[in-house]
Amino acid sequence: MTTKITIEDMTVFCKKKGFVYSSAEIYGGLSGFWDFGPLGVELKNNIKAEWWKFFVQNREDVVGVDGSIITNPKVWEASGHVDSFTDIYVKCVKCQKPNKIDKNELGKIKCECGGKYTNQGDFNLMFKTQVGPGKGITSYLRPETAQLIFTNFKLVAENARMKLPFGIAQIGKAFRNEISPREFLFRSREFEQMELQYFIDPDKVDDCPFYNKIKNNKINILTSRERSITIEEMLENKIFKNKWHAYWLYNSYQWFLSLGIDKNNLRLREHKKDELSHYANAAVDIEYNFPTGWKEIFGSHDRGQFDLTQHEKTSKKELKTYDETTNKKILPLVIESSFGVERAMLAFLFDAYNDDKKRGNILLKLHNKLAPVKIGVFSLVNKLNKETKQVYDILKEKVPCQYDVSGSVGRRYARADEIGIPFCITFDFDSLKDKSVTIRNRDDTKQVRIKIAELKNTLKALLNSEIKFEKAGKKI
Amino acid sequence: MTTKITIEDMTVFCKKKGFVYSSAEIYGGLSGFWDFGPLGVELKNNIKAEWWKFFVQNREDVVGVDGSIITNPKVWEASGHVDSFTDIYVKCVKCQKPNKIDKNELGKIKCECGGKYTNQGDFNLMFKTQVGPGKGITSYLRPETAQLIFTNFKLVAENARMKLPFGIAQIGKAFRNEISPREFLFRSREFEQMELQYFIDPDKVDDCPFYNKIKNNKINILTSRERSITIEEMLENKIFKNKWHAYWLYNSYQWFLSLGIDKNNLRLREHKKDELSHYANAAVDIEYNFPTGWKEIFGSHDRGQFDLTQHEKTSKKELKTYDETTNKKILPLVIESSFGVERAMLAFLFDAYNDDKKRGNILLKLHNKLAPVKIGVFSLVNKLNKETKQVYDILKEKVPCQYDVSGSVGRRYARADEIGIPFCITFDFDSLKDKSVTIRNRDDTKQVRIKIAELKNTLKALLNSEIKFEKAGKKI
């Protein structure tokens, strides 16, 4: 039996194990900002590396960029952020707590403490700063990575010799001056995005060569009610306006599954017409079943030609691409797939977290590809540390390992479970004779015996899920 | 024969090939900010991944963190940045161009145009921003990553169960509001650092187990004059105050060599007493021989106990670690190794760049581990595209490949040389019969023939420099 935990307990767990700290905790932190500890940075790096492989490196139709966080402020005028990236800022007359509300909620909603809200006016969520000496230029920390893809669209298409349809991907930080940051990593002021903008000839929005393979697959979706329907049915119901949008949503969903997320904890949610952003023709989120409810961890938008049109107008530069086959100039339509790194991380952590009562310790069942440490290397008794260290030294250059010789082996297994180490090796007295070690599988605690000489290849195959654990060595 | 280029030519080359663009170029850019194109982002990621492997993952005494860019402003009060991270800002009375100068240069130095400078006062180089609604809190974009390591020192030591001596590493962005950004990526306002802070018991600064292995190695160094001396001689000459500092400098130098930098283009430079930062007991840079002269690409500092003492005082939290063996509380001494990602990238690019007159094209001899694209896959004629594509599909999930079927094979080799692809494969008519392809080596244009079935393993061995090219296949 396993039990799940609250978001507050996850915050405590993440600090204790070195995943996430309040930023500059010795100074009391700063609301909405987080530092990542030794395990957090490895987990985050693994998530980003797997995303980059899946969406960029393994594909011939997608290339990457990395834009700057501060850029020419005209970008944010063209995108509409300077004028309208605002929340209504309210304050409780009783407890003085700040909050943000929607326009139609003014006068209707009260503070948790029961106090009335007073309207403090519109509040732009972009962080401002002055660039250069003297008065300088007012610019902004980017509130999203997307615009840096649109401004570079033409250069990238030319340099990388890309032809429509193709995508440009980016991983990087974004900043939003949230009035009320909350729910741990879920709504913070500094966060990281993984985004793909896919550019398509508006006349060929249904020419998607991958569509037929996926159209009959079913996913849970919340529209007016929750149900499980096929991608094809979603298209027929106009949840998607075109096949490319349907494909990218499905592919993004698959990415989460490929890294071990339980599909019962995922569902799609269609944006109603009245909640669509000004730039979107259609929008579908992927939500995760957090302890606080179903929450967005991924958003896809059919952005049409909105952004490129805005940048053409404001910059007075042509952003159309030339199509050799038809001799036409084309302003592409854009399908956006947008992931939050920290939200993905939180979903992976909650999904992996089990308070295993039988073992008496926490069991973090992270996917092998995401686990910050892949192999634990233990000696049965301190007398064998020297020989154990030799095994560790062979492995550590191939794969992130942890050498642990403190406390009982049982205690070390528990510690390894708690940070999600998939496999632990123990060097014992028999190892001196049979030149073998015991490997223990995190998820079911089964053990097999493997020759040290075969360790490197066997572990590689195990970590890549190429062989079954039971077949990796001799039964004990 | 090869010829080297100017920094302006490198800027043009980087834009043309998709390495680096002015940020938001369609709006005229913004001085000191750069976007990275498809090849730039891969090169930068490779540099960071190799650094992380070398300094973190392959070592048992170093763990990573990832701190936030905006943090509690008390951090920058404690570090001294709020009070003294300033330049003297001057303006030319004639051409109005801004510049920064040292205190002792006031009145002595003139503008390039011949005009006199007027003093505009001290200018703090930290970008300021308001956090939260209403008046909010004034905070800063971090001007360096180092402080986020010091503020997290105690938590990391406890969570990761690290014992002195040990290191904490971080890769991340930093921002400096330079008065006069210049020299392409060299002095920009937004940049990325790769830093290692190594914490040592002040009573054991010479207990470095690696020192004896490296002490007799010679490196070029500029002190009062340029010469080549051993690490041991540097220590005797008090260029380093302790063996750990000497070791980390040497190890950092080795990192550049391990990724192919010509050692004739590297030298060390000792900081004179009067140029030492207020926090440093000793400082040694690594400089690269850029077309604009020898310039710093790496800095190492013996920071003593300065930072942890400052944070103890300001936060009123104890940052000492407890030593189980001696029952003492220890405030460690810190050795800093600090790399600029973009400066390293620029050094790797200049070192790799050759205008190969004999070939008639540019040859970018990037190290295999850094090359953004590892393998080019060509068909001899378009008729063979289908079969070539099958070879590409096998390879692309293992290693970043480029499928190129446009223009003559000669033109495709030239294009591959220009972006540093180490190996190119050509599928020809014989391939249909002998199930083999031709591989061409970028650096000497030699070719061998390899069975398609062996391609994956052979390319892996070639890319890891485990076999010689001549032995990779049959002579042609």
Chain A residues 221-280 with a CB less than 8 Å from chain B: none
Contact A155 B58 (CB under 8 A): no
Degrees (nearest 5) of the Cα angle B344, B346, B347?
A: 65
Nearest-by-Cβ selection for B18 from A27, A45, A156: A156
Q: Which amino acid is at B229?
A: I
CA-nearest of B373, B406, B393, B405 to B455 is: B393
The reported pLDDT for the residue numbered B106 is 78
Contact B41 A33 (CB under 8 A): no
Q: Is the CB of B89 inside 8 Å of chain A's CB atoms? A: yes
Contact A23 B71 (CB under 8 A): yes
Measured between beta carbons, the chain A residues lying within 8 angstroms of B319 are: 26
- Distance between CA atoms of residues B473 and B138, nearest Å: 64
* Interchain CB contacts (distance < 8 Å): A and B: 250
DSSP A116: P
Q: Is the CB of B121 inside 8 Å of chain A's CB atoms? A: no
Beta strands in A271-343 (DSSP E): 282-290, 293-304, 321-323, 328-330, 333-340
- Distance between CA atoms of residues A381 and A384, nearest Å: 6
Contact B65 A41 (CB under 8 A): yes
Contact B23 A403 (CB under 8 A): no
Element (H, E) at A250: helix A243-258
Measured between beta carbons, the chain B residues lying within 8 angstroms of A35 are: 65-68, 71, 148, 151-152
* Beta partners for residue A118, in sequence order: A91
Is the pLDDT assigned to residue A324 strictly greater than 90? no
Contact A151 B34 (CB under 8 A): no
User: By mean pLDDT, which of A64-73, A80-89, A168-177, A366-375 is the weakest?
Assistant: A80-89
Contact B36 A317 (CB under 8 A): no
Chain A residues 310-349 with a CB less than 8 Å from chain B: 311, 314-315, 317, 319
- Distance between CA atoms of residues A363 and A42, nearest Å: 18
Catalogue all structural domains in chain B, each as residue range(s) with its CATH number. Answer: 7-79+140-350 (3.30.930.10), 373-475 (3.40.50.800)
Contact B72 A128 (CB under 8 A): no
Measured between beta carbons, the chain A residues lying within 8 angstroms of B159 are: 15-18, 37-39
- Across A390-406, average pLDDT: 93
Measured between beta carbons, the chain B residues lying within 8 angstroms of A134 are: 89, 91, 98, 120
Measured between beta carbons, the chain B residues lying within 8 angstroms of A396 are: 57-58, 60
Concatenated DSSP letters of B290-329: ETTEEEEEEEEEEEETHHHHHHHHHH-----EEETTTTEE
- Distance between CA atoms of residues A372 and A17, nearest Å: 12
- Distance between CA atoms of residues B197 and B147, nearest Å: 10
Identify the closest residue of chain B to A405 by CA–CA distance.
B161
Q: Is the CB of B389 inside 8 Å of chain A's CB atoms? A: no
- Distance between CA atoms of residues A148 and A170, nearest Å: 9
Complex ipTM over 0.95? yes
Contact A152 B27 (CB under 8 A): no
Q: Is the CB of A68 inside 8 Å of chain B's CB atoms? A: yes
pLDDT in tens, B308-332: 999 999 999 999 999 888 899 999 9
pLDDT in tens, A461-470: 999 999 999 9
The reported pLDDT for the residue numbered B108 is 85
A23 CA: distance to closest CA in chain B (Å): 6
Measured between beta carbons, the chain B residues lying within 8 angstroms of A406 are: 161
Q: Is the CB of A154 inside 8 Å of chain B's CB atoms? A: yes
Measured between beta carbons, the chain B residues lying within 8 angstroms of A177 are: 130-133, 136
Measured between beta carbons, the chain A residues lying within 8 angstroms of B37 are: 65, 152, 155-156, 159-160
Nearest-by-Cβ selection for B26 from A33, A133, A151: A151
Contact B72 A24 (CB under 8 A): yes
pLDDT in tens, A177-211: 999 999 999 999 999 999 999 999 999 999 999 99
Nearest-by-Cβ selection for A41 from B29, B64, B127: B64
Contact B25 A133 (CB under 8 A): no
B84 CA: distance to closest CA in chain A (Å): 16
Per-residue pLDDT band at A223 (split at 50, 70, 90): confident
Measured between beta carbons, the chain A residues lying within 8 angstroms of B389 are: none
- Distance between CA atoms of residues B172 and B160, nearest Å: 21
* Beta partners for residue A124, in sequence order: A86
- Please state the pTM of the whole predicted model: 0.97
B280 CA: distance to closest CA in chain A (Å): 23
For an interface test with B, the pick among A47, A68, A190, A374 (most B C-beta atoms closer than 10 Å) comes out as A68
* Beta partners for residue B268, in sequence order: B221, B286
Residues of chain B with pLDDT under 50: 1-2
Nearest-by-Cβ selection for B177 from A132, A319, A403: A132
Contact B71 A30 (CB under 8 A): yes
- Distance between CA atoms of residues A284 and A269, nearest Å: 6
A231 CA: distance to closest CA in chain B (Å): 27
The reported pLDDT for the residue numbered B3 is 55
Token pair 């070195």: residue: A18
The reported pLDDT for the residue numbered B2 is 45
Given a contact cutoff of 8 angstroms between Cβ atoms, the answer to whether B38 and A65 are in contact is yes
- Distance between CA atoms of residues A422 and A367, nearest Å: 8
Q: Is the CB of B406 inside 8 Å of chain A's CB atoms? A: yes
The reported pLDDT for the residue numbered B134 is 82
* Beta partners for residue B20, in sequence order: B36
User: What are the distances in angstroms from CA A242 to CA A224, A245, A269, A304, A469?
Assistant: 21, 6, 17, 11, 43
Contact A74 B27 (CB under 8 A): yes
CB hemisphere CA count around A255 (13 angstroms): 26
Q: Is the CB of B67 inside 8 Å of chain A's CB atoms? A: yes
Q: Is the CB of A305 inside 8 Å of chain B's CB atoms? A: no
Per-residue pLDDT band at A278 (split at 50, 70, 90): confident
Measured between beta carbons, the chain B residues lying within 8 angstroms of A24 are: 71-72, 74-75, 148, 151
- Across A130-142, average pLDDT: 94
pLDDT in tens, A17-33: 999 999 999 999 999 99
pLDDT in tens, A409-466: 999 999 999 999 999 999 999 999 999 999 999 999 999 999 999 999 999 999 999 9
A202 CA: distance to closest CA in chain B (Å): 23
For an interface test with A, the pick among B131, B171, B188, B460 (most A C-beta atoms closer than 10 Å) comes out as B131
Q: Is the CB of A301 inside 8 Å of chain B's CB atoms? A: no
Per-residue pLDDT band at A3 (split at 50, 70, 90): low
